[in-house]
């Protein structure tokens, strides 16, 4: 029998499940995802999960749609090339200025709302 899943595996999977449903043209934040998963304070872990997702291309995650709470592209250095994150966002109709998203508030998508509707 396979060993039981670790807490990390479950949390990472939940993170990816949310990232996967971020609507086109919208973005969210690490903290928002953590809250949606009932783990406020685990924002850093969400970021860790995202960085780990680099080695899992089969997940097809729109990782570029996850920014920090101010709309800054803090994860750009994990893309190859780093400019790829900005390029994808612009391709989806966003405007990036100084590594930050313009109109972040207006384009913010709260994953917590999805759970309520569920």
Partner DNA sequence: AATGTGACACAAT
Partner DNA sequence: TATTGTGCCACAT
Measured CA to CA, the distance from residue 16 to residue 10 in angstroms comes to: 10
Measured CA to CA, the distance from residue 11 to residue 14 in angstroms comes to: 5
Measured CA to CA, the distance from residue 112 to residue 118 in angstroms comes to: 10
Question: What are the C-alpha distances in Å from 96 to residues 4, 8, 30?
Answer: 42, 32, 18
Show the site string, 26-65: x = touches DNA by CB under 7 A, - = not.
---xxxx-x----x-xxxxxxxx-xx-xx--------xx-
Residue 90 CB, shortest distance to DNA, in Å, is 16
22 binding DNA? (CB under 7 A)? no
Judged by CB under 7 A, the number of residues near DNA is 34
Residue ranges in contact with DNA by CB under 7 A: 6-8, 11, 29-32, 34, 39, 41-48, 50-51, 53-54, 63-64, 66, 68-70, 74-75, 77-79, 85
């Amino acid at each position: 029998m396979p060993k039981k899943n670790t807490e990390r595996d479950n949390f990472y999977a939940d993170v990816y499940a949310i990232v996967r449903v971020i609507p086109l043209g919208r973005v969210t934040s690490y903290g928002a995802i953590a809250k949606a998963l009932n783990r406020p304070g685990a924002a850093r872990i969400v970021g860790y999960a995202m960085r780990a997702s680099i080695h899992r291309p089969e997940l097809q995650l729109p990782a570029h749609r996850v920014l920090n709470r101010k709309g800054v592209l803090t994860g750009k250095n994990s893309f190859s090339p780093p400019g790829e994150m900005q390029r994808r966002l612009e391709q989806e109709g966003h405007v990036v200025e100084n590594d930050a998203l313009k109109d972040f508030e207006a384009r913010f998508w709260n994953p917590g709302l999805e759970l309520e509707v569920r």
